[in-house]
Amino acid sequence: MNDSIFLKTLAGEKTERPPFWFMRQAGRVLPSYMKLKEKHTFWEMMQNPDLGAEVTLLPVDDLGVDAAILFSDILVIPYAMGMGLEFTDRGPEFDIPLSERADPLAALNPDPEKLNYIYNVIQKIVATKPSNIPLIGFCGAPLTVLCYMLEGIGRSKDFPVTIKYLYQNKETVKQLIDAITDLSIIYAKEQIKNGIKTFQLFDTHAGLIPFDLYKELFFPAVKRIAQAVREEGIPFIFFPKDLGTGVQQVTPDMCDYISIDWQTPIEVARQLVDDNIGLQGNIDPRLLYSDQKTIENSLNKYIDFGSKNHNWIINLGHGFLPDIPYENAKFLADWIKRTDWRR
């Protein structure tokens, strides 16, 4: 574990290059994943410990990333709260959107035991992974999870039902946030007990509402989850996508590292974010649709940043897209390793 460049960086040590992993690294960008998908459904792969561990570790072998992330999904929380969930070709779908319930809180029945299968997967990963590759655990942040719960589906990226609901039923929303946060804390603590070494909170839809409203409703919940993770001695990475200049108001009691989306240049993010918080990010995943010469030219701008900033993890500004050529994902990984970071 001590020879993990990823954990060293998180612990504040200087390393000779920035560590890297990629959001959605274990997915359709990998030919090895597509092969497994021919035989197994997504649910099967995340529920079966052997398959879950195998898929989690595919990007370690195929791309050479410095950390693995648990192969699971943020929607396991609503599922453990009693919502019927299916992963279809069009994305995740819940049986009844929470917004259609007269009393959404009464419709939920949070049961921490319904997450137990995931700890078996974590144990299997820990038992089979290389010793210098730590495992990252995660869950969705309350806003992003709530978006899928209220909307029922994840096809529309602007979640109109959710936003209307939020403005019309603020008090109910506050109670839902508390319920999601309570279960997420139990889940995070169990992941830690079973061997994850870093935790990332995904708030993909943080930019859906005005920052002031986000701060009022969701900052307290993020702080609670951060505190629960950090009191176990585990570093906490917060990914509030599209938060914009709101990153200025993220305080060190909310995270150790903040994951920056591709909208904000990394140097600008560095100026905005509190000096005591490290950065992760923020390559535009769609850059990987271009040819390798263009990719390399665009990546070169990160060398200067990386030469000066040791508290930085290279990642994407959002996850890999399914149709990105694997060769370009591999090119990116190799580029990070062969670059002279002038440190």
Report if residue 286 touches ligand CP3, rule: CB under 6 A: no
Closest to 309 (Cα-Cα) out of 337, 251, 268, 338: 268
Among 42, 79, 117, 289, the residue binding ligand CP3 under the rule CB under 6 A is 42
Encoded tokens for 138: 């995660």
Q: Where are the alpha helices (DSSP H) in 68-115?
A: 76-80, 104-107
> Segment 54-83, which members bind ligand CP3 (CB under 6 A)?
69, 71-75
Q: With contacts defined by CB under 6 A, how many residues of the chain interact with ligand CP3? A: 23
In this structure, what are the phi and psi dihedrals at residue 339, rounded to the nearest 5 degrees? -70, 140
Among 17, 40, 47, 87, the residue binding ligand CP3 under the rule CB under 6 A is 87
**Nearest 5 degrees, angle CA 128-CA 133-CA 135?**
75
What span, in angstroms and rounded, lies between the C-alpha atoms of 164 and 203? 19
In contact, 133 and 66? CB cutoff 8 Å: yes
CB of 126 to ligand CP3, least distance (A): 16
Nearer to ligand CP3, 92 or 142 (CB): 92
Nearer to ligand CP3, 218 or 305 (CB): 218
Region of 137 (left: φ > 0; alpha: ψ -120 to 50; beta: rest) is beta
**Nearest 5 degrees, angle CA 261-CA 197-CA 319?**
25
Query: Cβ atoms within 10 A of the Cβ of 126, count?
Result: 15
Among 8, 17, 28, 215, the residue binding ligand CP3 under the rule CB under 6 A is 28
In contact, 134 and 68? CB cutoff 8 Å: yes
Among 184, 204, 282, 328, the residue binding ligand CP3 under the rule CB under 6 A is 204
CB of 144 to ligand CP3, least distance (A): 6
Report if residue 154 touches ligand CP3, rule: CB under 6 A: yes
Q: Nearest to ligand CP3 by Cβ — which residue?
A: 204
CB of 312 to ligand CP3, least distance (A): 19
Encoded tokens for 283: 């390559």
CB of 147 to ligand CP3, least distance (A): 8
Report if residue 162 touches ligand CP3, rule: CB under 6 A: no
Nearer to ligand CP3, 97 or 270 (CB): 97
Encoded tokens for 187: 């889940």
Footprint of ligand CP3 on this chain (CB under 6 A)? 23-28, 37, 42, 69, 71-75, 87, 91-92, 138, 144, 154, 202, 204, 319
